[in-house]
């Protein structure tokens, strides 16, 4: 059976682990670099990106556990990697709107991400997203309830990046954003919509939190992503409620999630 690692330094890793259990996939909490060798895919969850970066540095400098080089090496293997919210920031080649001094990135996803684009924790929100590509590949409705918590947004993408969802900019969000990049103020062009979900090769990025909903289609989509160097798809057990009850003995909805 496929084994999916979930980076467990900080953030919503428990919710991703629960989602994986609900579709019958083995999840492993990843805190050591050596654990990456035993997983077929990796999820980098939402959380506080600066805190997660500091923890990764701490593990690298004080205890030889998980480090950015180890994560970059995993991305370079071509195995599927999914970043949600803070995880999306880490996967981006460039992030703006960071705190003084910036933070280290894993990179690989050809896009520019604005950290905390939608504002502070108080500006967190839910909205219906149009997801025709997700519906085409995974079935279900063409809409998805996106949960945005102190969320980033994707401002620009490269030619090889597939846009899976975008989102209108709320009225309370400043349309013209000032950020500091390499010591210089940079003004981002005013816009009405921003990108919130993308896919590029073995990488998937979402600015919102699918793990906080009952809709498992993003997890299913991720599990079907192919390793670049192989035609092999990740294997998983059937996802219907009946099959889950038969294989696991009960429906494992063990964490509070949004309907």
Show the tokens assigned to 149: 């918590």
Structure tokens at 237: 């057990």
Q: What does the alpha-carbon distance between residue 155 and residue 202 come to, in Å, rounded to a whole number?
A: 21
Instruction: Identify the active-site residue in 85, 111, 167, 219.
Output: 85
**Alpha-carbon distances, residue 105 vs 91, 123, 238 (angstroms):** 7, 25, 35
Residue 68, H or E segment: helix 68-76
Contact of 24 with 238, CB cutoff 8 Å: yes
Residue 19 to residue 138: CA distance in whole angstroms: 16
Phi then psi dihedrals of residue 83, to 5 deg? -110, 125
Respond yes or no: is residue 209 known to be catalytic: yes
Answer positive or negative: Cα dihedral of 60, 65, 67, 72.
positive
Distance CA 65, CA 120 (A): 31
CB atoms closer than 10 angstroms to residue 40: 18
Please list, in sequence order, all residues whose beta carbon lies within 8 angstroms of the beta carbon of residue 227, skipping any fewer than 6 positions away: 77, 78, 79, 80, 202
Say what angle helices 49-61 and 68-76 make with each other, to 10 degrees.
100
Q: Which position among 15, 16, 167, 209 bears the catalytic label?
A: 209
**79 and 42 Cβ atoms separated by less than 8 Å:** yes
Bridge partners of 137?
none
Residues taking part in catalysis: 85, 209, 211
């Amino acid at each position: 059976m496929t084994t999916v690692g979930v980076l467990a330094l900080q953030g919503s890793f428990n919710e991703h682990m629960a989602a994986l259990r609900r579709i019958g996939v083995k999840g492993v909490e990843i805190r050591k670099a050596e654990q990456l060798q035993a997983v077929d895919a990796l999820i980098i969850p939402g959380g506080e990106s600066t805190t997660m970066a500091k923890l990764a540095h701490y593990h690298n400098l004080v205890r030889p556990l998980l480090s950015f080089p180890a994560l970059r090496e995993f991305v370079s293997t071509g195995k599927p990697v999914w970043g949600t919210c803070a995880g999306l920031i880490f996967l981006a080649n460039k992030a703006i709107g960071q705190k003084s001094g910036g933070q280290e990135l894993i990179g690989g996803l050809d896009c520019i991400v604005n950290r905390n684009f939608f504002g502070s924790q108080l500006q967190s929100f839910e909205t219906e997203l149009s997801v025709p590509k997700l519906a085409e590949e995974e079935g279900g409705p063409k809409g998805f309830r996106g949960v945005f918590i102190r969320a980033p947004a994707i401002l620009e993408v490269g030619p090889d990046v597939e846009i899976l969802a975008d989102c209108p900019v709320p009225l309370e969000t400043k349309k013209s954003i000032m950020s500091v990049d390499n010591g210089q103020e940079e003004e981002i062009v005013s816009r009405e919509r921003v990108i919130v979900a993308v896919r590029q090769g073995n990488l998937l990025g979402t600015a919102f939190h699918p793990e906080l909903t009952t809709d498992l289609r993003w997890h299913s989509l991720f599990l079907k992503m192919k390793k670049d160097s192989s035609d092999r798809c990740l294997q998983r057990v059937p996802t219907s409620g009946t099959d889950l009850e038969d294989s696991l003995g009960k429906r494992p909805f063990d964490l509070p999630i949004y309907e």
